[in-house]
Structure formats: structure tokens, C-alpha cells
Structure 1
Amino acid sequence: MSTAIPAGLMPQTLTQVRPVEITDGYGSQEWDYGPDATRTEITGWLQQDQRQAVTGGITEGRDPQREKWLLITNHTDVRALDRYEWSGPAGAVVFETDGPPAPVFTPRGFHHSEVALRILTG
């Protein structure tokens, strides 16, 4: 495996949270991100790609901001249900994966993973 992005270009440290499947009180299966979930420290490049204020309508107690973030990492094991915890300049943030993660390859093999994220709010 060839990770072509140097570690010095991956300045942020995040905690990848992999949920466990549990059975709720009604016998239904659901994903749980609590203490039994797997937590793995990874490094990457995290950037905000889009931000805009929501205008019109009722926000129902939610933060009236829409944001899209991108995580670029050399970590290979990223999945659609993963969440990411990060302590940024404005405090702790929890992201959820927004669509399927994309492994990026070159002719030499794996290069990096790109993960579209959104902030969990409301």
C-alpha cells in the first residue's frame, strides 16, 4: 500500500467512531455510537467546503447553518456509518459521513481516502 500524502500535510487529529449494532427495547436493530463503539485516532486534512445561512422556513431548534466539510486521510478503513469527533478552534465538533467515502487510487495503488462530512446538529 502506498500512501502518497506526507504526514506533515495531515495536521488534524480526529477520533473515528465506528458504531456497534444493538437491539432496542422493541427488538429493532439500530446503530449505537456510545461507549461500546470502536474509537480510533486518525490524522487528516479537514476543511470546510461550504457554509451558508438557511433563510426562510422554520429551523425547528436546529442551527440555521448548512455546512459541508471534507476529510482527506491516509486511513484506509473508512465506512459510511462512521462518525468523526474533532476538537477545533471553536470547540468540540462531531461529524457524520455524508455519502459513501471515496478511496482514491493511482497506478501505484491506494493514495488516500476522501470523506464528505456534515456537522451533527439539532
Structure 2
Amino acid sequence: MSDQVPEHLLPQQVVQVRPARVTDAYGSETWDYEGGATRTPITGWIQQDSRARAAADGRDQQTEGWLLITNHQDTGPLDQYEWQGLTFETNGPPNPVFTPRGLHHREVALVIYTG
């Protein structure tokens, strides 16, 4: 019996983007999700959990909530995830899921803002 989600239930190929800390032209530290970032292929299950449209200040903004389920244990609150041409931001700290046998998998709340 495995202590993780069986791999055949995590069929989606996702790229985890871990940003690099860099200093910008003004001397401030910021996060680089492009050239300095580390990209790690992982497997998981991604599903859309919610979507909302809010018109405010003349904007037509849509917020989509997604969930990533993965056995990949190295997940962080600043990570982004790329899947099928979409880039997701992590929405809060990743949630470790435990069973009586110990750590089972991670659930990462994701968000996309458009508009």
C-alpha cells in the first residue's frame, strides 16, 4: 500500500516555476519568474473549482480558482504553475494532506486573474 496518490490518478504534466530573488534596476529585491526561475516538471491533477466575474472601476475582471493535487513535496507559496498554456499563481500556502500513516500528498490552491 502506497502512502501517496497513485501516479495513474495524477496524469497531468505540470511545470512548477520557482522564482529567483533578484535585484531590479532601482536596487529593490524582487522575484524573477523568467530567466532566473527554476522550472521543474511534475505530475498532478488540476481542476477548476470556482470562477467569478466582478466589474469594478471600469474593469471586467474574472477570477478563477483552481486546485492542484500532487505528490511533489517541494511546493511553496511563491511558486507558479504552467499547464496547457495557462500560468497559475499560488493562492496561499500549499496544504499538506495527512493520513494516519503520515504525509500523503499536497493540495495547492491556484488562481488566475484576467481582465
Q: 1:48 maps to which residue? A: 48
Gaps of 5+ in 2: none
Which segments of 5 or more consecutive residues in structure 1 lack a partner in the other structure?
none
Q: Aligned Cα RMSD in Å? A: 1.6
Corresponding residue SS for 2:8: helix
1:8 pairs with 2:1:
no
CA distance in 1, matches of 2:81, 2:56: 30
- Which one of 66, 69, 73 corresponds to residue 76 of structure 1? 73
| Identical counterparts, % of pairs | 59
Q: 3-state SS of the aligned residue for 1:8?
A: helix
* Number of residue equivalences: 114
The one-letter code sitting in structure 2 at the alignment partner of 1:102 is: N
TM-score by length of 1: 0.86
**Counterpart contact for 1:94–1:120, Cα < 8 Å:** no
Q: What's 1:65 paired with?
A: 62
TM-score (ref. length: structure 2): 0.91
Alignment of 1:1-122 (within 5 A): 3-55=3-55, 57-59=57-59, 64-87=61-84, 92-121=85-114
Runs of 4+ in 1 over 6 A off after TM superposition: none
The Cα of 1:82 is off from its aligned counterpart by 0.1
CA deviation map 1:52-85 (0-9, x unaligned): 22245421xxx63221000010000000000001
